[in-house]
Structure 1
């Protein structure tokens, strides 16, 4: 009874924290995701970046609902004919959430800080930027090491967002979350609740809701219960496929569905036996039936994928084969495997990071591979922190991963995966000078048609050598109360809280 009374008191106290705001002035968003860090120099997971996208902004942004790059903290920019120097003309009179002045020095400080701290997403800038120069208080030049066609798209990603020099230093990461965005942090209780309030220093239109409360739920089941009890106005990431289908039948909520560039795939450690044999990788690729996964596990809330570049993005070509068990067996027998001498492998997955369906995916892959009669699969798993350590150190040879876009360009789905400088970070350790040459060439071509031709050749080489196997492309889903408006499911995967209201 004493515990019950305490729980009731805490609930009342929490509610009273928002008593000053009318119900229509704030939105409650429920999620099963977790914030890892709110430092743009180190954030490289979905929710951390999405929060940053609502409390900070970059020199450029995507026009809401599109992949078009538009001015943000920079009013305009110029690019030299050789594509090596970008000059940005900054908005004047802006202040960070802590009151510090926004100017060219702050832009240089922020990018230089990314270089010095060298966090997870730093390579997006360090591989292409030569140096940043302050021309005057509101003009900054960024010199590149080589022409890089998607550079503006990279600047629209959180790693390039300016932070306040008064609240950050270049010696350590920080979660203070001080930038220039439509919201600023009012309160953060890690893994419990994050409260955002409208930022008076924001230069754009005021947020549609004065406050956003983000509540963190342990799993899809608890998030669904919160939806059904009306505890949240919006549920975004992640409900189970069955939840989505059931809630579509309800007249108490509205289910939003949108296209998504999120992909899921298998990684091979190309340096680890037996996956250092390209024939083994190709045989496994032939043995997998993507449609069975998307239908049975995801109930058609995902789509089979046959390239690492997602469907709907320019440059995409279906290059991986449809399932052929016979072809898989034929290849394996040629390299010495048989019913008497089976290929014995471990398949790894992580049980919570990608949701509760991950174990089902692993079991289905095991069934498909063992249906060849000459593959034996032992399923292993590890929680996310250990999982990342394992694949970065090359411990795992065959495992499941997923990719959320940093920037909307085929480069983001090829360079980190199959360029020799990027592949170790994803645990594949794949390296091919021909692939490196193609990807660098594609970066330096200015026109989309010319780049698409190079990416087609690169994707074909990827399918031939199969250091990865694309499995499916996700769809975006969001569940909200009928009175909630302004929800926009974008191709960029940016979920803009400041457009939502009721």
Structure 2
């Protein structure tokens, strides 16, 4: 992760990815435990693990999802051509044993694992791979809505109707164990993106039988087909069993025909418990065996009570967003630099974030390619901030500062406390702050995405280990939440990011991203990176074999429960 200037850099992932990998997948291990009654009910080698989920999934078809609760379930029952190494953000083989690409980076040949079947008995082979890609590419109607096909649109672009350019071109299966994916251009994010749950391999037979693509818009929401509601079918170590929506309980069972090492658990249950305090109480009572993102203030008490608290390596960024659309003063880079100098990020990290958090100097961790050690820094300097505001002709700057309620995020564990600290910093530099607070899903994200805020708190947990996943996501188009379309450099930045992503030469691409990061932190400064924060996960003391993921992408597979 990116560290404070004086702190050493600590790599938990390798900074280079290899084009061809030929080693077998090492299955990620994760959580396992269970309340006594559930152990008795589950029986067998590993009994039942009950995990407290923070919310209900949107559905069970990960292609139509962008929420963490859906993906948490998808990771247990589905697999991709590639996966992520346990404890890191780097790719490794999963359903593909190896891969290689053409010199121009446009053709990718995957050698597939043999002897693998989907949960319904359908063979996993090259034909199934191509049917999956074609299914995603052939979306029509509601299926092309960004609220549904978010990750396809963000990573691949358009669909087969050709209305919008697409990174994906075609797929061919020269033999059952070889799939060739053709792209329209080289991309730094390929094949990493294939490790995302949205691009998991799903049974073509089940998708056709249960009409997976038959999603319909209904007002501001969607009606999902039977496949998404109750028939998700992958190749993973768990199979979908049931969803008791009334009781908020999702049940998965062991896949006895799994191609790899079978999970020790008989059952994996997710109980939907939206309130974090209630999740903590349920863990303490033994009703659940673990939950994610415990409040940083509770970590010591949880440990003292004998629970197993693990803090992940941080692979995220929290930033102060700046929207240039509504407040003319914010279009001046001197004003944006003044905001950066006004913020005491060192104290923020020490006082408001969990142990292991660090000050960010740019928009992604130092374990990602293109990280530049020599970017412009902004130490806390209220006098410098006042000087820049005076030079810009706005010594009495006023901003509407948006912060979210009814939410905690891995990078933002205490939104109100973080807002209070930063607002105090801004006021000390002579800036008038008008607070605007809204529920995360009750207007906040909508206002931020539609560039209504002057400044705002937001962040990102990386999906995979490439620069494009961070700064490409933030600034890759001019019509973004920062409204860089209103800046003379906005289109240039977007073009630079597209060019860097499409550069097949790794060394040249690294230099291009370093140059972009230098400009982002000096002449552009569309937002202010604040911190990297390590999110925690907690289980009961009986859990053994937890392997945390910086992507918050744990798999509940090779685990054990003491005494079982």
Query: So what's the TM-score if we normalise by structure 1?
Result: 0.88
Structure 2 counterparts to residues 21-170 of structure 1, below 5 A: 21=43, 24-115=46-137, 116=139, 117-118=143-144, 119-123=149-153, 124-126=155-157, 127-168=166-207, 169-170=212-213
Q: Is the 8 A contact 1:59 1:72 kept in 2?
A: yes
SS at match of 1:27: strand
1:6 aligns to what?
A: none
Structure 2 counterparts to residues 64-463 of structure 1, below 5 A: 64-115=86-137, 116=139, 117-118=143-144, 119-123=149-153, 124-126=155-157, 127-168=166-207, 169-172=212-215, 174-175=228-229, 176-190=231-245, 192-235=248-291, 237-250=292-305, 252-274=306-328, 275-317=330-372, 319=375, 320-338=377-395, 341-354=396-409, 357-384=414-441, 386-420=443-477, 424=480, 427-431=481-485, 432-446=490-504, 448-463=506-521
Larger deviation: 238-247 or 107-116? 107-116
Which sections of structure 2, spanning at least 5 residues, go unmatched? 1-35, 158-165, 216-223
Q: Is the 8 A contact 2:111 2:178 kept in 1?
A: yes
SS at match of 1:499: coil
2:553 to 468, 486, 494: 494
SS at match of 2:515: helix
Q: What is the alpha-carbon distance in structure 1 between the residues aligned to residue 88 and residue 456 of structure 2? A: 33
Query: So what's the TM-score if we normalise by structure 2?
Result: 0.79
Q: What is the alpha-carbon distance in structure 2 between the residues aligned to residue 89 and residue 147 of structure 1? A: 20
State yes or no: 1:484 paired with 2:543: yes
1:426-468 CA distance string (max 9 Å, x none): x223253432343234324445544332222111111122212
Q: What is the alpha-carbon distance in structure 1 between the residues aligned to residue 199 and residue 90 of structure 2? A: 18
Higher RCO (CA 8 Å, separation ≥ 6 residues) = 2
Give RMSD over aligned pairs: 2.6
Which sections of structure 1, spanning at least 5 residues, go unmatched? 1-13
Give the deviation of 1:241 after TM superposition: 0.9
**Aligned residues, how many?**
482
1:282-327 CA distance string (max 9 Å, x none): 2212211122222222243522212111144343335341222112
Q: What is the alpha-carbon distance in structure 2 between the residues aligned to residue 238 and residue 71 of structure 1? A: 28
Q: Is the 8 A contact 2:476 2:494 kept in 1?
A: yes
